[in-house]
Amino acid sequence: MALPWLVLLLALPIFFLGVFVWAVFEHFLTTDVPATLQHPAKLRFLHCIFLYLVTLGNIFEKLGICSMPKFIRFLHDSMRIKKDPELVVTDLRFGTIPVRLFQPKAASSRPRRGIIFYHGGGTVFGSLDCYHGLCNYLARETDSVLLMIGYRKVPDHHSPALFQDCMNASIHFLKALETYGVDPSRVVVCGDSVGGAVVAAITQALMGRSDLPRIRAQVLIYPFVQAFCLQLPSYQQNQNVPFLSRKFLVTSMCNYLAIDLSWRDAILNGTCVPPDVWRKYEKWLSPDNIPKKFKNRGYQPWSPGPFNEAAYLEAKHMLDVENSPLIADDEVIAQLPESFLVSCENDILRDDSLLYKKRLEDQGVRVTWYHLEDGFHGSVIFFDKKVFFFPCSLKIVNAVVSYVKGI
């Protein structure tokens, strides 16, 4: 009876080692690490670990043990959270939506600034615990009351769960600012990656709400603001750069929007977008809007393939303004508050920031732009990770702190 257990005990280390070797091979065969990135060896190691965990999650999913996203989020939530003596941190629920409130302990002579934070992770990764350190730092360093929203994610929930949860929790908070000691004239919305997309979409949606305080400013950290064109210069140049490859981006987008993955090529080639829609929005989506200096590195001019109506019927909701806030009407864009945009040179989503920056500026919205030549997607999450720290991570966080303190 002991023999099967002994065999299993010996087989498990071999299995985990084999998966890790596979992840290392996958990294070196498929991943680009640009020369401008600092600490390339550290980045490679972290990306190998990332691929290893994703591969393990996919194996567990195929075995019916646990879905890959839930496995990764379980690991996120296993991380130890440090208590900050300067803050009171409270886990709450706004209806069914879990939120985490960060409040400075020190007394204040006037209501504080408020920050609503939507975390990234492509609706696959990320959690309240994963982003605890970042939100803790932002609340403490800006002396603000910060609300982080824990929205529903795949595989159990799909569009529009992310938008609905963040919208409902934001409205709940905005209606109760007095309760939390927040100045209604100094509320900032902030988010990274897909959280940046939520910032754009929700700020636009709230513009017409006379019953709520007006958002003072929006902070978008390498946001995803359009699902139309995945062949922009940065999508070509950085398609295999950690930690967001173009393949993973399209897969995550399809999973969240409940689009069958068989349509992935149609989305990449732009054949799911009707020609009249391309013509309507080309003035905002064209690579001509990207400054020339960003197109010097390996960009090949591109045009969409022949229109595929079946693909359009399957994927047309990705063209809704909630999922592509870049295409909002001029009248909406013109009403938006001042904005702080962060972009990273080695990020597939760099050009989303550049296009949204131009859209805002063309409509007279004040924009502060912060660009990092050594930055990469997801870098902000490493700002407090000690041995896994990257200089660009702290640069982003401190730039956001500096901007918010000026509100």
Same-domain check for residues 197 and 300: yes
- pLDDT confidence bin for 393, thresholds 50/70/90: very high
CB-based contact 200:225 (threshold 8 Å): yes
Same-domain check for residues 91 and 72: no
In a domain, 8, yes or no: no
DSSP helix/strand/coil, 118:
strand
In a domain, 315, yes or no: yes
- pLDDT confidence bin for 6, thresholds 50/70/90: low
In a domain, 1, yes or no: no
In a domain, 337, yes or no: yes
CB-based contact 343:222 (threshold 8 Å): yes
Q: Please give the share of the chain, as a percent, with pLDDT higher than 70.
A: 98
CB-based contact 193:118 (threshold 8 Å): no
Cα 276 from Cα 374, distance rounded (Å)? 38
**Residue 8: its pLDDT value, please?**
62
As beta bridge partners, residue 372 has: 344
CB-based contact 107:161 (threshold 8 Å): no
The number of beta carbons lying within 10 Å of the beta carbon of residue 34 is 16
pLDDT average, residue stretch 393-397: 96
Same-domain check for residues 149 and 65: no
- Given a cut of 90, whether residue 13 has pLDDT beyond it is no
**Residue 386: its pLDDT value, please?**
86
Same-domain check for residues 220 and 357: yes
Per the model's pLDDT, the better-predicted residue between 303 and 362 turns out to be 362
Q: What is the pTM of this model?
A: 0.95
For residue 90, the enclosing domain spans: 85-407
**Residue 5: its pLDDT value, please?**
64
- Given a cut of 90, whether residue 197 has pLDDT beyond it is yes
Same-domain check for residues 260 and 315: yes
Same-domain check for residues 55 and 93: no
- pLDDT confidence bin for 7, thresholds 50/70/90: low
Cα 286 from Cα 278, distance rounded (Å)? 10
Supply the CATH number for residue 167's domain: 3.40.50.1820
Number of structural domains (the chain) is: 2
Q: Which residues are catalytic?
A: 193, 347, 377
At 228-253, the pLDDT tens digits run: 899 999 999 999 999 999 999 999 99
**Residue 79: its pLDDT value, please?**
77
Same-domain check for residues 62 and 108: no
At 284-343, the pLDDT tens digits run: 999 999 999 999 888 898 889 899 999 999 999 999 999 999 999 999 999 999 999 999
In a domain, 144, yes or no: yes
Which residue, 146, 148, 144, is CA-closest to 108? Answer: 144
CB-based contact 342:208 (threshold 8 Å): no
Same-domain check for residues 49 and 171: no
Residue 230: both structure tokens together: 């995945």
Same-domain check for residues 53 and 193: no
Cα 234 from Cα 245, distance rounded (Å)? 11
**Residue 2: its pLDDT value, please?**
66
The overall average pLDDT reported for the chain is: 94
Per the model's pLDDT, the better-predicted residue between 238 and 5 turns out to be 238
In a domain, 7, yes or no: no
Same-domain check for residues 272 and 341: yes
Same-domain check for residues 64 and 192: no
